[in-house]
Chains A and B, each alone.
Chain A
Amino acid sequence: MYRGREGQWAFVLHRLSGVALALFLLLHVIDISLVMFGPEGPFNAFLAFYHQWPFRVGLVLVMAAVVYHAFNGLRIILMDFTEWGVKYQGALWYGALGATTAVGIPVLWKIVPEILGIA
């Protein structure tokens, strides 16, 4: 397997997170659309199903994908529209990873106790 440097990993993660988010978006719009069936419809039962811990962990992974994709997307915009973006793309990628971690830690601090039921 070819092991590239930062740029390749940035691309692979951007592609994987992007495809995952697009598929999640389709699923998410479909599940929220169940609200159209009204208060006596299947919405509450469906949501209770999704509140089980494996799905909540999945939701945390979706959020991680969002945050990485957002910060790496900003890196791509800087690479495309500034004179210096491409030159510093490696450093910018570490910046994107750092920003993802910086946002991720307080989010996990808030949500993990909810999932464990000790909030």
Chain B
Amino acid sequence: MASAPKTYQAARATYGASGELVWWVFMRISGLLLVFLVFGHLFFNNIQIDAGTIDFAYVANRLSQPGVKIYDTFLLAFAMLHGINGLRYSIEDHVRKPGRRFWTKVVVFSLAGIVFVLGTMTLWAFSYDEMGAAVRALD
């Protein structure tokens, strides 16, 4: 795109009823939510504690709490959609050759899909209660 539309009306005029208008709105709504979600994430894991002390026990303890799992699920979903859509904008702006643009998107979207599944598994597929107990039993 030559230059991004600057107002909601301009975005409607440019994108009409296509999916791009939905993405344009999504980037603003998810962006606003992510300000709070990401600032909270950084506060919990970098300010309340020394990030240099993070180890398995700390992460397992966090991931055994339902509230953290739900918080991190929203964080993962919004950050991935916002981030990968932003990468798509960047690819469309800067990768000019059609063939190279296509394959760059294939690689980025595939990687994003794998990482999203990996992240969801990390949050929901294991009982860190039991893993955390195993760690405490080691001490």
Tell me if A15 and B118 are in contact (CB < 8 A). no
A25 in complex: contacting residue of B39, B50, B80, B134, CB < 8 Å = B80
| CB interface residues, A 94-119, toward B, < 8 Å | 107, 110-111, 114-115, 119
A30, B117: Cα distance in complex, Å: 10
B contacts, CB < 8 Å to A: 6-8, 11, 28, 31-32, 34-35, 38-39, 42, 46-47, 50-52, 54-57, 59-60, 63, 76, 79-80, 83-84, 86-87, 90, 111-112, 115-116, 118-119, 121-122, 125-126, 128, 131, 134-135, 138
What are 17 A-to-B residue pairs whose CB atoms are below 8 Å?
A15-B90, A18-B86, A21-B83, A22-B83, A26-B112, A29-B116, A32-B59, A32-B119, A33-B121, A36-B122, A36-B126, A39-B134, A43-B59, A74-B32, A80-B7, A114-B51, A114-B52
What distance in Å separates the Cβ of B57 from its nearest Cβ neighbour in chain A? 8
A44-68 interface (Cβ within 8 A of B): 44, 47, 51, 56, 59, 63, 66
Q: Which chain B residue lies CB-closest to A77?
A: B28
Whether B52 lies near A56 (C-beta < 8 A) is yes
**Is A2 located at the chain interface by the 8 A CB criterion?**
no
Tell me the complex Cα distance, A79–B123, Å: 36
Question: A36 contacts which of B46, B51, B57, B125 (Cβ < 8 Å)?
Answer: B125
- A22 touching B86 by the CB < 8 A rule? yes
Main secondary structure of the interface of A (DSSP, over half): helix
Q: Nearest chain A CB to B112's CB is how many angstroms away?
A: 7
Q: B46 and A111: CB pair below 8 A?
A: yes
Q: Pick the residue among B38, B111, B138 that contacts A70 (CB under 8 A).
A: B38
> How far in angstroms is the closest Cβ of chain B from A98?
16
Task: Verify if A13 is at the interface (C-beta below 8 Å from B).
Answer: no
Give the bracket for the number of chain A residues in contact with chain B. Answer: 35 or more
Indicate if A35 sits at the interface (CB-CB under 8 A). yes
When the two chains form the complex, which single residue of A36, A43, A66 contacts B42, counting CB atoms closer than 8 Å?
A66
Q: In the complex where A35-B122, A70-B35, A79-B6 touch, is A26 in contact with B115 (Cβ < 8 A)?
A: yes
Q: State in angstroms the CA–CA spacing of A70 and B134 once bound together.
A: 39
When the two chains form their complex, are residues B42 and A33 in contact, meaning their CB atoms are under 8 A apart?
no
Contacting residues, chain A, for B56 (C-beta < 8 A): 35, 39, 41, 43-44, 47
Question: Which of B8, B32, B118 makes the CB contact (< 8 A) with A29?
Answer: B118
Instruction: With CB as the reference atom, state the residue of chain B lying closest to A62.
Output: B42
A30 touches B134 (CB 8 A): no
Chain B residues with Cβ below 8 Å from A119 are 50
